[in-house]
Structure 1
């Protein structure tokens, strides 16, 4: 079988993390740490203000970043019932929600997926960096673009 595939123009980007929607991030982190040596996770309670929202409505979520060697899992515990993650858990249960790619060409990537007709689900600013989710059906994958630039060494 030979498939005729397109020749996309976007460069392959850095896998930033895999986002997992959970009911209780602390309990999930404890479970993971009972199996693997994950070290101390980074924990943030994120309440974007209306001026931080690019698309979608404000929400509240606990973000827990857990390192597995070169791979990062982002545990997302909704702190309200308005977020995309609370809706995901209500409809599908806990599980993998999205795959995030760190990009330096954020605007180009957003333009590319928008031009292809993929719905922009939510977009905001976190710690000075823009991020967004696209529904990239078919395939059932939500893709996040996270604006990441090389940082100068200290």
Structure 2
């Protein structure tokens, strides 16, 4: 009997890493891998991002830098001071791997299925061309899963 992924995919799209100093860490990654230092950009403000953390609208933002590493993207994330999954991770765990992301179809149903497996929705938001959801799968999988759904 063939087992089916709860996500509908097993292809990792991204690994997200929380950092305290994105400029310094981006430079270090770029030197290590012999690539250009990527641009560092802020996530959108609430009016566009519609960020919700633990069910409540929040002003949280983060600086992001992306490294395209063949078939996977490394995302560096430096959170601002407002409540978010990023800020909570930094305060509780320090710097390190925050999430593994998967591109999915039918995000609402996948969120419901994951919540039925005791993996609650933690944070959602919009980005240019899609949306994201962070699921607290830490107890079961030892890492947060991010769902990405593109238009």
TM above 0.5, yes or no, is: yes
Matches for 1:2-151 after TM superposition, within 5 Å: 8=5, 10-49=7-46, 52-53=49-50, 55-56=52-53, 57-136=58-137, 137-149=139-151
Structure 1 unaligned blocks of 5 or more = 1-5, 150-154
How far has the Cα of 1:7 moved from its partner?
5.1
Runs of 4+ more than 6 Å apart: none
Give the length in aligned residue pairs.
144
Q: Deviations over 1:110-141 (max 9, x none)?
A: 22112223111101111141101001122221
Q: Deviations over 1:73-130 (max 9, x none)?
A: 1000012242221221121110000000011222221221122231111011111411
Structure 2 unaligned blocks of 5 or more = none
Deviates more, 1:133-142 or 1:15-24: 133-142
SS where residue 35 of structure 1 aligns?
Answer: helix
Higher helix share: 2
Partners of 1:47 and 1:58 within 8 A in 2: no
Partners of 2:125 and 2:132 within 8 A in 1: yes
